[in-house]
Amino acid sequence: MRLERPTRQAWLVWGCAALIYLAAVFHRGSLGVAGPQALERFAVGPAALSTFTVLQVGIYAAMQIPTGILVDRFGARRVLTAAALLLGFGQVLFAVAESYPLGLTARAVLGIGDALTWVSVLRLVAAYFPPRIYPLVVTFSSALGALGGVAATFPLTILLDQLGWTGTFLLVGAATAGYAAVAATVVRDVPRGEHAPSRPRVGSPAELAHGVRSTWTIPATRLAFWVHFSTMFVMNALTLLWGYPYLIEGLGMRPRLAGVVLSVLIIGQIVGGPIMGTIIGRTPPHRMPIVLTYLVIALLGLALLIAWPGGQPPLPVVVVAFLIFAFGGPVSATAFALVRDYNPRSSVGTATGIANTAGHTATALAVLAMGILLQLTADPTDITDYRIALLAPLTLLLLGLERTTTWWRRTRSVVLAAQERGDEVPVRVRRHRWDRRSTR
């Protein structure tokens, strides 16, 4: 039986794995400050340059379920080691690439390596830490990853100034690839004295698809999917692409001020992670009320930016709205707590991959939809056009809120039925009047 207090080995394994995730987030955001140099290096325009980000996010989302299957089959240690190697190789390839196709290839390799990290980290957290502090460690992991996003801003700018394009990316790529040896040595799939869970054999594509479908049929897995879909995509869409143009072109902010406001999305995630993790971990019955409350507040924040008279919300309003969106990252950890609680240990990786696909799919949809709406408008620097573009994430949030509420009720009905049979459940719930229809 796992100890209620994590051991020194647990923190050592977690730290090693979390550093790989930090590196993945760093490499994911490394093109942000290198964008102007990339335009000149690859001789492309802004539209072609944006393909780098769309490709990497798309590969990340598409790889989440396969990553879960790989983690279930081969273990987190091997998958994390492969992730570090791919991240390092992809960045080294990006360092020497001078043609646009080769640059795209490099970003695709980075996307695959990035996709292998988060599910592996969560599998290790589930194996080494007790349920009571699982959400806290997950949010700590996410916050540590956010530091990788910080490192991809000012520190990376300094490196690019000092070492240039090739020298900078060769250095960070080689360091990441070398770290694979540390991962292979330090990380272990289960704590000392425990036997690894039976790993499913590698079956045919039809058998793998059946396993994914079986995991998908668990109501809590679908609930986790929609929780993750709904909570984090607004923050991601603003951080990766549209936040800076909205502040500069839409609201007329100066670049330095816009950079400070945009950093609220990262700082809020770092600060909010431990807070939300503690609350979610100590009071499991409050997890879903917190999620639903957040979604309603986020909807109000977006609606305020869209409907503000004259289209120019004052700076404090914008900062508060961005801070609200930043908390979406910490709140999204609820999805992984649901996955851990309601899935067999042998399929936690697959279920985590399903849930993790959701938020990045929503991010891609939001980024694409906002771009299309801006493209259809006459003047992309008009605040009115950005207000129209913000209708895309508002619509996705409404969809997410409806689906999350529906699957929360269905999950509750399953748990209530299990309690009435006398079965053991991860989190006991109290029946309410509005549960009756759902139970039937």
pLDDT, one tens digit per residue, over 17-30 is 999 999 998 888 77
pLDDT at 79: 94
| Span 34-61, pLDDT tens digits | 766 787 888 876 556 667 777 888 888 8
Q: How many alpha carbons lie under 13 Å from residue 127 in its C-beta half-sphere?
A: 31
| Span 108-151, pLDDT tens digits | 999 999 999 988 998 899 888 887 787 788 878 887 887 887 77
Q: From residue 197, how far is each of 20, 123, 149, 209, 345 by CA, in Å? A: 24, 12, 34, 21, 7
Of residues 349 and 117, more confidently modeled: 117
Mean of pLDDT values over 410-419 = 82
Burial class (CB in 10 A: 0-12, 13-18, 19+), 300: exposed
Same domain, 281 and 148: no
Most confident of 64-78, 211-225, 297-311: 297-311
Q: Please say if the pLDDT value at position 265 is more than 80.
A: yes
Residue 315: CB atoms within 10 Å: 12
Same domain, 45 and 179: yes
Residue 61: CB atoms within 10 Å: 21
Tell me what percent of the residues of the chain surpass a pLDDT of 90.
32
pLDDT at 86: 96
- Least confident among 102-111, 130-139, 280-289, 373-382: 373-382
- Least confident among 99-103, 318-322, 336-340: 336-340
| Distance separating alpha carbons of residues 119 and 109, to the nearest angstrom | 17
Same domain, 137 and 243: no
**Domain count across the chain:** 2
Choosing from 147, 176, 191, the residue where a domain stops is 191
Q: Please say if the pLDDT value at position 255 is more than 50.
A: yes
Same domain, 139 and 266: no
Choosing from 191, 208, 229, the residue where a domain stops is 191
Residue pointed to by tokens 């340059």: 49
DSSP characters for 259-322?
HHHHHHHHHHHHHHHHHHHHHHHH-GGGHHHHHHHHHHHHHHHHHHHHHSGGG---HHHHHHHH
Which three-class secondary structure state does DSSP give residue 197?
Answer: coil
Same domain, 270 and 406: yes
| Any domain includes 205 | no
Same domain, 179 and 256: no
Q: Please say if the pLDDT value at position 72 is more than 70.
A: yes
| Any domain includes 95 | yes
Q: From residue 381, how far is each of 213, 250, 252, 384, 385 by CA, in Å? A: 45, 6, 9, 9, 7
> Which of the four pLDDT bands, split at 50, 70 and 90, describes residue 440?
very low
Mean of pLDDT values over 225-251 = 86
Same domain, 377 and 309: yes
Same domain, 279 and 371: yes
DSSP state of 199: P
Mean of pLDDT values over 187-215 = 71
Choosing from 174, 191, 208, the residue where a domain stops is 191
Residue-averaged pLDDT of the chain = 83
Helix (H) or strand (E) holding 144: helix 134-151
pLDDT at 383: 55
pLDDT at 380: 47
- CB 333, CB 137: distance < 8 Å: no
Instruction: List the structure tokens of 439.
Output: 């139970």
| Any domain includes 199 | no
Same domain, 32 and 113: yes
pLDDT at 319: 93
| Any domain includes 172 | yes
- CB 22, CB 80: distance < 8 Å: no
Q: Please say if the pLDDT value at position 354 is more than 80.
A: yes
pLDDT at 36: 66
| Any domain includes 178 | yes
Q: Please say if the pLDDT value at position 177 is more than 80.
A: yes
> Which of the four pLDDT bands, split at 50, 70 and 90, describes residue 379?
low
| Any domain includes 288 | yes
- Least confident among 83-92, 260-269, 299-308, 375-384: 375-384
pLDDT at 93: 94
Of residues 226 and 158, more confidently modeled: 226
Same domain, 397 and 320: yes
**Radius of gyration (C-alpha) of the chain in whole angstroms:** 22
| Span 329-348, pLDDT tens digits | 889 988 988 888 887 776 77
| Any domain includes 212 | no
pLDDT at 175: 93
Same domain, 183 and 276: no
Same domain, 247 and 305: yes
Mean of pLDDT values over 92-98 = 92
Q: The domain that contains 293 carries what CATH number?
A: 1.20.1250.20
pLDDT at 430: 74
Instruction: List the structure tokens of 299.
Output: 């909807």
pLDDT at 1: 41
Most confident of 16-20, 146-150, 376-380, 420-424: 16-20
| Any domain includes 343 | yes
In which domain, by residue range, is 385 found? 218-424+431-440
Q: Please say if the pLDDT value at position 253 is more than 80.
A: yes
Q: Please say if the pLDDT value at position 66 is more than 80.
A: yes
Of residues 79 and 351, more confidently modeled: 79
